[in-house]
Chains A and B, each alone.
Chain A
Amino acid sequence: MNVTVRRVLGVVLGVFCLPLAAIAAESQPTHEFRLANGLKIIVREDHRAPVVVSQLWYKVGSSYETAGQTGLSHALEHMMFKGSRKLGPGESSRILRELGAEENAFTSDDYTAYYQVLASDRLAVALELEADRLASLKLPADEFAREIEVIKEERRLRTDDKPSSLAYERFKALAYPASGYRNPTIGWMADLKRMNVDDLRAWYRTWYVPNNATLVVVGDVQPEQVKALAERYFGSIPARPVPTAKAPLELAEPGERRTTLYLKTQLPSLLYGFNVPSLGSAKDAKPVHALRLISALLDGGDSARLPARLERGEELVSGASTWYDAHARGDSLFVISATPNVQTGKTLQQVEDGLWRQLKDLQDNPPSAEELARVRAQVIAGLVYERDSITSQATSIGELETVGLSWRLLDQDLAALESITPADIQAAARTYFTRTRLTVAHILPEATAHE
C-alpha cells in the first residue's frame, strides 16, 4: 500500500504494440461526422450494457481568460444549470435525476464539458437539453447573485482552506509567466467578487456556438441513431464566428523561480515544475513522448524509480509523484511533488538534491530494457482496462479533440511511444531538466514563518 495515491499509468500513456499488443489491437467501431453548423460528433460503440455516456465539450476554459476576468468559464458552467428556453433553473438536473442519470460538468484550463450517463434509451433527452442550453441560455441576474456565493464557497472549500490546492495555485501563477495557464480555473477571489452577469452573457455569446463544440457519445448506440438525434436537436442552431484562440505559449527558459509559502499545514513539501512543450505546442512530437515515458519511469507504478529509490531505498521522501499533461493546447509543465520523510529527519534541501540525482541519472544513463518493457506492458494492459469504462473512453476522446488533437492519436499512441529510443529519453532529460526552466515552491507550516 502507498499512503500517497499513485496514478494508474494506463491513463497517462496511450497504446503499444508487441506480442502483448495483439490483445489490445481491436478498438471499438468509432465514427466521426460534422453537422452543417460545424458541430463535430464522435460516436464510439460499446454494446456490453444498455447504457450510454454523452459529453458536450466546448473549446473554452480558464486559459482563455484575461487578467481581472478569471473564473468566467467555470462560473458560466455553473449558470448553464440555471435555465434556458425549455428549462427552468435547475430543471435539467431534476429531469435527469428522475431518469436515473448521472450528470455533471467540469471546467479546466482548455475546456468546459457537460456530461450525462444514462440508460441508452434516454439519450435523446440528454441531447435535447444540451442543445437547448447551447442555443438559449437565460442567465437570470437573481440566479447569478446566489450562484456566485456558491462559487465562493467552492473556492473556500477547495482552495483557500486546502493548503495543497492553495500552494499549487500560487506555484502555477509563477510557473507560467507568459500564458493564460497561470489562471486558477475557479478564479481569484477578487475577480469572483467583481464578476457580474453581463460578463457571463458576453462569455457565453462568444464561445458557446456549435462550431466551437464537440459531442462525444460512447455506449450502446448506433451511429445513424446518434446522427439523427443530433441533427434533430442541434441542427437548427446557427453557427457564428468565434475569435481565434491562440495557443498558450510560454517562454522556453524563463529562468529559475523560487517561492516559499507558509500555509496552514503540518508538514513541509515541495513542488518542482519545468516549462516543457505538449503535443499541442511541440513541432516535433518525439520529445513529448519521451517526457511521457520519463514520467512513467519515475512514477508509473510501485516499482518505478521515485517509490523504489527515494521512498523505499533512501527513505528520503514519505511520498513523491510526477505529473505531466501532454494533451494541452499550448505549453505544459513537468511537475514533481514530494514530501520529505520527517521521521528520518530529511529536509527539503535533501529532497531537492535527491530529485536532481534522479534527473541527472536520466540525463547520463539510458533506461534499462527491463524498465522499458515494464512500462510497455502496463500501457498495453491499461488500454484494455480503460475500455471497461465508457466514461474514460469518452473523456479521452473529448479531451484530445478539444485541445486541437485528434482522437485517432489514441490508436496511434502505441506506435508513437514505441518509436522512442533510450537516447531520445536522455536527450529530452538534458533539454528540459534545467534550472532555467525550473519553478520551485517550498511549502512550510505557518508556525515556522518567524523562527
Chain B
Amino acid sequence: MSDRHSLRDSLLGVVLLIGIAALLGAVARQPAAESQGRAALESLSSLDQQAPARRDLQIQTWQTPGGAKVLFVAAPELPMFDLRLTFAAGSSQDGEAAGLALLTNAMLNEGVPGKDVGAIAEGFEDLGAQFGNGAYRDMAIASLRSLSKPELRQPALQLFNQVIGQPTFPADSLARIKNQLLASFEMNKQNPGKLANLELMQRLYGSHPYAHPSEGTAQSIPGISREQLIAFHQRAYAAGNVVIALVGDLTRAEAEAIAAEVSAALPQGPALAKMTQPSEPKAGPSHIDFPSKQTHILLAQLGIDRREADWPALYLGNQILGGGGFGTRLMEEVREKRGLTYGIYSGFSAMQARGPFLINVQTRAELSEGTLKLVQDILRDYLAKGPTQQELDNAKRESAGSFPLSTASNADIVGQLGAIGFYDLPLTYLEDFMSQVQALSAEQVRAAMAKHLKPEAMLVVTAGPQVPQLPLPPPTDKPAAQPTGIPEH
C-alpha cells in the first residue's frame, strides 16, 4: 500500500494536455543554486554551460486515402508498438444527449460481428495486447499496445480494426454500462471535490457544450438509445475525423500499411465542425454544503484555446504562480509558510475552444474563508506586478531541463504525437514552443497573464461544512527557500 498518489491528476480531468514539460533551446545555463548564498552543491557547478540532450524523434507524417492524418515515430529498441487514435468525438459533440460520446466510446469493445465482449477481451489478452479507450470533452481515444512480432501484431490489429470500425453496440452491454455509470454518479456524491468541479464547469460554461460532464448525468444517461450510438459512431468515428499516432518497432512501410488499414476500417466521412467559443460567465461565489472535514475551494474563469498566441507566456506565467507543485507562489505561501493545505495548484487547459483556468485548494473547514482570501490576494498581487526576473529565469531553466523527460518513453511520445496531430500543431511544435518560452521577458509574461486573467472575473465554488471561521496562522518569518517538485511528500 504505497502512500503515493498524484494530486495533480485530480486537478482537471478535462483533456489530455500535451505534457508541457517543455523544450530546449540553446539556453545559456546559469548556476542554479547561488540564490541562497549557501554552500552550494558542488555537482551543480559542473553543469553550468551544458545544454540538456534530448531524444531525436524524427516525426514522420502523411495522410491516408480516407483522410486520416498520421504521425509516426520509429522506436526499434523494444519489440512493441503503441497505436493511438484520437477522434474529435468528445462530449462537446453530445448535443442534447449528455454522455452520448462517452457511451459510444465505452461500447466499442462490447461487441463486433461474431464476438461478444468476453470474446473480444480474450482475443486481445490471448495475444498479450492491451486495448484502451476513453472520452473527454474535445476528444475520444482508442488505443492498442502490442508486441510487434508479426504473428502477434497482425491478429491484434485485425481485432482492433473490427472494434473501432464495426462495433455492434449490443443492447445488454448498453444496459450494463449505463448501470455502471449510474453507480459512478452515486459515488460522486461522496466526493466533495468532484461535486465542486461539476458545479464549477456548469457555471463556467452555461449553455456551451463544455458545461456538462463527459460521463453525462443521471437524467441524461437512461434515455440514450442504441440507434443514437450507431449514428454517433458513423459520424464521429469517421476516417476524416481521426488522428493516428504510431510509435514503436515498425518500419515506415509497416506503419503505412497499419494506418491505411485502420483508416479503411472506419466509416468514411469528413472531419466534424470545430467547436464554437463559450460566452463570458457571471463571476462570484457559490457554495455546496457537504459534511466533510475539509472545504474544497475552486477559483476559475475562461482561459484560452489551443491557437492562442499568448500560450507560451501563459504557460510560463502559470508555472510560477501555481503550476507543477513545490516552488510556486501559491504552494509557497499557502502550504510551506502556513501549513494550510496538502496541495494547491493552478493551470490553464488549452482546448479546442477556450478551456478553463483553474485554481484548486483544500483546507480545514474553519480556515476556508481566510485561505480563499489569501489565494485571491496572491493572485491579485501577481497579476499586478508579474514575476520577478529570478522567478522567470528559474522557470525557463526548468522548462529547458525537463524537455528530455517529455519524450523519454514510447508512451510519452505517442501522447505528444496525438496532441500535435489533434490540435493541428506543426511537427516542430515542441521546439517552437520551447524557443518562444526561452525568449520571454518578465514584462511579456506579466502583460499576458494580466490580459487573460482578471481577479474580479473569477468564479468561486466551495464545498464543505458551514462552521465558525478562525483567523489564519501567521506565516513563517523566515525568508523562505523555494521548495519544488510534485507535491507528494
A residues in contact (CB < 8 Å) with B = 1-4, 8, 20, 23, 48-51, 74, 77-78, 80-81, 85-109, 117-122, 124-125, 127-129, 132, 142, 145-150, 152-154, 156-158, 160-163, 172, 185-186, 233, 263-267, 300-303, 307-308, 311-312, 315, 318-319, 325, 339, 341-344, 373-374, 377-382, 384-385, 387-390
Contacts and interface: CB of A to CB of B under 8 A. Distances in A.
B3 A91 contact: no
B409 A95 contact: no
B32 A1 contact: no
A95 B32 contact: yes
B38 A91 contact: yes
A264 B152 CA distance: 47
B52 interface: yes
- Contact residue range for chain B? 35 or more
Interface string B136-150: 000000000111010
Contacts of B39: 85-86
A1 B338 contact: no
A381 to B, nearest CB: 3
B489 A102 contact: no
Nearest to A333: B1
A126 to B, nearest CB: 9
B121 A301 contact: yes
B179 A318 contact: yes
B105 interface: yes
A163 B190 contact: yes
Nearest to A24: B79
A92 B465 CA distance: 37
B219 interface: no
A104 B52 contact: no
Nearest to A153: B342
Nearest to B131: A302
B225 interface: no
B186 interface: yes
Given A90-B484, A99-B401, A157 B342 contact: yes
A74 B1 CA distance: 13
Contact of A106 (B4, B145, B326): B4
11 contacts: A20-B147, A48-B409, A90-B484, A98-B394, A100-B398, A101-B485, A125-B44, A150-B341, A153-B294, A157-B362, A384-B79
Interface string B13-50: 00000000110000000001100101111111011001
Query: Can you list the 7 inter-chain pairs with the closest CB atoms, starting with the nearest?
Result: A100-B401, A90-B483, A381-B128, A97-B484, A100-B402, A149-B339, A1-B106
Given A1-B133, A51-B405, A343 B187 contact: no
Interface stretch (B277-285, B445-453, B474-482): B474-482
A266 B342 contact: no
Interface of B: 1-5, 21-22, 32-33, 36, 38-44, 46-47, 50, 52-55, 75, 77-80, 105-107, 109, 117-118, 121-122, 125-130, 133-134, 145-147, 149, 152, 173, 176-177, 179-184, 186-187, 189-192, 291-294, 324-327, 335-342, 362-364, 394, 397-405, 407-411, 476, 478, 480-486, 488-489
A49 B412 CA distance: 12
A378 B342 CA distance: 38
A144 to B, nearest CB: 10
Contacts of A308: 118, 121
Contact of A103 (B117, B125, B481, B486): B486
A328 to B, nearest CB: 10
Q: Which of B105, B399, B482, B485 is the most central at the interface, judged by chain A CB atoms within 10 Å of its CB?
A: B485
Nearest to B32: A98
B38 A389 contact: no
B79 A98 contact: no
Contacts of B410: 388
Contact of A388 (B53, B80, B480, B483): B80
B118 A109 contact: no
Given A93-B483, A105-B489, A387 B179 contact: no
Nearest to B107: A1
Nearest to A111: B2
Contact of B294 (A145, A157, A267, A373): A157
Contact of A97 (B133, B327, B338): B327
A49 B404 contact: yes
A378 to B, nearest CB: 5
A125 B488 contact: no
Contact of A88 (B38, B52, B407): B38
Contact of A302 (B55, B121, B482): B121
Nearest to A129: B41
Contacts of A158: 5, 342
Contacts of A160: 293
B50 to A, nearest CB: 6
Given A49-B55, A81-B483, A98-B397, A146 B339 contact: yes
Q: Which of A89, A146, A264, A388 is the most central at the interface, judged by chain B CB atoms within 10 Å of its CB?
A: A388
A95 B33 contact: yes
B110 to A, nearest CB: 8
Contacts of B149: 23
Contacts of A1: 105-107, 109, 133-134, 177
Given A95-B44, A156-B364, A102 B486 contact: yes
B404 A50 contact: yes
A21 to B, nearest CB: 11
Given A119-B53, A147-B339, A100 B190 contact: no
